[in-house]
């Protein structure tokens, strides 16, 4: 227990938690809200979504905590060594008594004005159609030559060359060097691309089928040359597909949106345009094997057919015997058919002979009956029967029947046929009463 020689000025005895809270209150009243600029170190993201790191400079370091809600609003992934500006509230983590900064917003240092400029240019070019997916072209599977634009002293050049040498050492690469950082970089990049476009359009010794535009990572200021409007318009004029590989996976530039394809890193850009030679050799080997198998199957099939034909030609007697057997079977069938027809005709003849008298008798009876009916009808139609009832048939001298008084003129000679003979008549005029 502490003792003081002067009880009047004895210090207050604090509970630890109470002292931490008092310090936190003093910090709140004195500093908050606070804005800090420093370099990220020890960045980590917990499974809960909270982020923990420190910001430091040459003179000091502060622990920081960024809870999930604020972390979800980030438009980039913080990395160690990155210079940032953050806003938040100073406090004390009572469980350990550590000073910490609760971060409410975080952005790359100096990003504000540049990022707004980036967004304005992006919106303008997008409205003009420079980012349209319809103008994007597919990459050639096996380019005859690859054009490359980057800085000769950049690590990106080493990464790209290493990847291409490993995957496609047989494909030539045409390097046109350019500045990739600084005020003069946009113009230098445009001139380099224009040189490659001329080579791609001409009948050059090394034809260029695809172009790589690459640069390593860096801050937004370092990559700002790739957000140039003139460079964007130069990129969309490429006569062959163009791949951009600028910065790291989280970095986006205007050049990425204008290119036919964006790669997350320079190495990835090289790998996109360079299918490994071993893959193509394997595919060719597989095709060669399939072709060989197909040819061998056809050869075996032709050999089999040839063997069958040889067997038939080598023993013609067997073919003749088969034909003779076939002819014998056909002759037997013909003889059997003729015999069957003969038997059926004989049976029909015998049946006809047995039934013929009855058939003739019935036929004669029917004919006699028909004659009797016809004779009766003839008798009924006999005109003599009519004449016997007192009628006469009149005819002129030429034998034509007279059926009207108009045919009998006075003095005309007529002939009347009666039942028992004929009379010659003369027509006289009718008497007046």
194-204 pLDDT, tens digit per residue, is 999 988 887 66
Identify the pLDDT of residue 245: 92
pLDDT in tens, 63-84: 899 998 989 888 888 887 778 8
Identify the pLDDT of residue 2: 43
Number of Cβ atoms within 10 Å of the Cβ of 207: 15
Answer whether residue 277 shows pLDDT above 70. Answer: no
Band (127; pLDDT cuts 50, 70, 90): very high
Identify the pLDDT of residue 112: 55
pLDDT in tens, 92-120: 776 777 788 889 888 887 655 667 788 88
98 - beta bridge partners? 93
Identify the pLDDT of residue 29: 63
Burial of 256 (0-12, 13-18, 19+ CB in 10 A): buried
Mean pLDDT of 160-184: 91
Identify the pLDDT of residue 281: 64
Number of Cβ atoms within 10 Å of the Cβ of 62: 19
Answer whether residue 1 shows pLDDT above 50. Answer: no
Least confident of 62-71, 325-334, 392-401: 392-401
Q: Is 147 within 8 Å of 176 (Cβ atoms)? A: yes
Identify the pLDDT of residue 81: 76
Answer whether residue 285 shows pLDDT above 70. Answer: yes
Query: Listing from the earlier edge strand, what are the strands of the sheet with 146-150?
Result: 173-177, 146-150, 210-215, 242-246, 261-262
Domain positions in the chain are 11-109, 114-275, 276-310, 386-426
Identify the pLDDT of residue 175: 93
Q: Is 88 within 8 Å of 102 (Cβ atoms)? A: yes
The torsion angle over the Cα atoms of residues 321, 322, 327 and 333, rounded to 10 degrees, is: 130
CATH architecture of 11-109: Beta Barrel (2.40)
Answer whether residue 413 shows pLDDT above 80. Answer: yes
pLDDT in tens, 206-259: 789 999 999 988 877 788 999 999 999 999 999 999 999 998 887 789 999 999
pLDDT in tens, 147-156: 999 999 888 8
Mean pLDDT of 129-157: 91
Identify the H or E element spanning 214.
strand 210-215
Band (189; pLDDT cuts 50, 70, 90): very high
pLDDT higher for 353 or 192? 192
pTM of the model: 0.47
Mean pLDDT of 144-170: 90
Strands annotated E in 8-144: 34-45, 51-56, 61-66, 83-93, 98-108
Identify the pLDDT of residue 4: 46
Identify the pLDDT of residue 355: 76
Rounded to 10 deg, the angle between the 277-314 and 316-380 helix axes is: 70
Instruction: Share the mean pLDDT of the chain.
Output: 82
Write out the CATH class of domain 114-275. Answer: alpha beta
Q: Is 241 within 8 Å of 140 (Cβ atoms)? A: yes
Residue with tokens 């420190």: 54
Q: Three-state DSSP class for 404?
A: coil
Identify the pLDDT of residue 401: 81
Identify the H or E element spanning 198.
helix 185-201
Q: Is 53 within 8 Å of 41 (Cβ atoms)? A: yes
Residue with tokens 């900064």: 101
Identify the pLDDT of residue 234: 95
104 - beta bridge partners? none
- Provide, rounded to the nearest whole percent, the portion of the chain with pLDDT above 90: 26
Answer whether residue 178 shows pLDDT above 90. Answer: yes
Band (393; pLDDT cuts 50, 70, 90): confident
Identify the pLDDT of residue 187: 95
Answer whether residue 6 shows pLDDT above 60. Answer: no
Answer whether residue 273 shows pLDDT above 80. Answer: yes
């Amino acid at each position: 227990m502490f003792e003081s020689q002067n009880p009047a000025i004895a210090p207050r005895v604090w509970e630890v938690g109470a002292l931490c809270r008092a310090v936190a209150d003093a910090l709140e009243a004195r500093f908050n809200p606070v804005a800090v600029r420093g370099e990220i170190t020890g960045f980590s993201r917990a499974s809960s979504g909270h982020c923990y790191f420190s910001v430091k400079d040459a003179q000091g370091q502060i622990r920081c905590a960024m809870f999930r809600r604020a972390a979800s609003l980030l438009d980039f992934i913080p990395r160690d060594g990155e210079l940032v500006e953050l806003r938040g509230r100073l406090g004390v983590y009572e469980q350990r008594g550590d000073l910490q900064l609760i971060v409410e917003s975080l952005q790359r240092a100096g990003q504000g004005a540049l990022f707004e400029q980036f967004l304005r240019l992006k919106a303008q070019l997008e409205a003009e159609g420079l980012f349209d997916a319809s103008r994007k072209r597919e990459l050639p599977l096996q380019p005859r030559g690859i054009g490359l634009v980057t800085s000769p002293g950049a690590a990106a050049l080493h990464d790209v060359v290493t990847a291409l040498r490993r995957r496609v050492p047989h494909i030539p690469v045409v390097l046109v060097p350019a500045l990739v950082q600084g005020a003069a970089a946009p113009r230098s990049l445009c001139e380099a691309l224009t040189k490659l476009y001329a080579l791609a359009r001409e009948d050059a010794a090394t034809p260029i089928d695809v172009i790589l535009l690459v640069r390593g990572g860096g801050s937004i200021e370092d990559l700002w040359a790739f957000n140039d409007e003139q460079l964007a318009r130069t990129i969309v004029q490429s006569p062959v597909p163009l791949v951009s590989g600028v910065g790291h996976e989280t970095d986006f530039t205007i050049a990425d949106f204008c290119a036919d394809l964006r790669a997350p890193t320079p190495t990835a850009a090289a790998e996109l345009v360079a299918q490994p030679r071993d893959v193509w050799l394997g595919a060719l080997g597989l095709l060669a094997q399939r072709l060989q198998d197909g040819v061998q199957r056809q050869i075996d099939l032709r050999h089999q057919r040839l063997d069958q034909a040889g067997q038939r030609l080598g023993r013609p007697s067997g073919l003749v015997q088969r034909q003779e057997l076939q002819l014998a079977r056909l002759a037997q069938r013909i003889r059997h058919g003729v015999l069957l027809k003969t038997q059926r005709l004989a049976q029909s003849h015998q049946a006809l002979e047995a039934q013929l008298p009855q058939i003739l008798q019935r036929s004669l009876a029917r004919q006699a009956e028909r004659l009797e009916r016809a004779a009766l009808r003839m008798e009924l139609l006999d005109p003599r029967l009519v004449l016997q009832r007192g009628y006469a048939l009149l005819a002129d001298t030429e034998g034509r029947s007279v059926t009207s008084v108009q045919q009998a003129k006075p003095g005309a000679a007529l002939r009347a046929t009666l039942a028992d003979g004929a009379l010659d008549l003369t027509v006289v005029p009718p008497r007046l009463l």
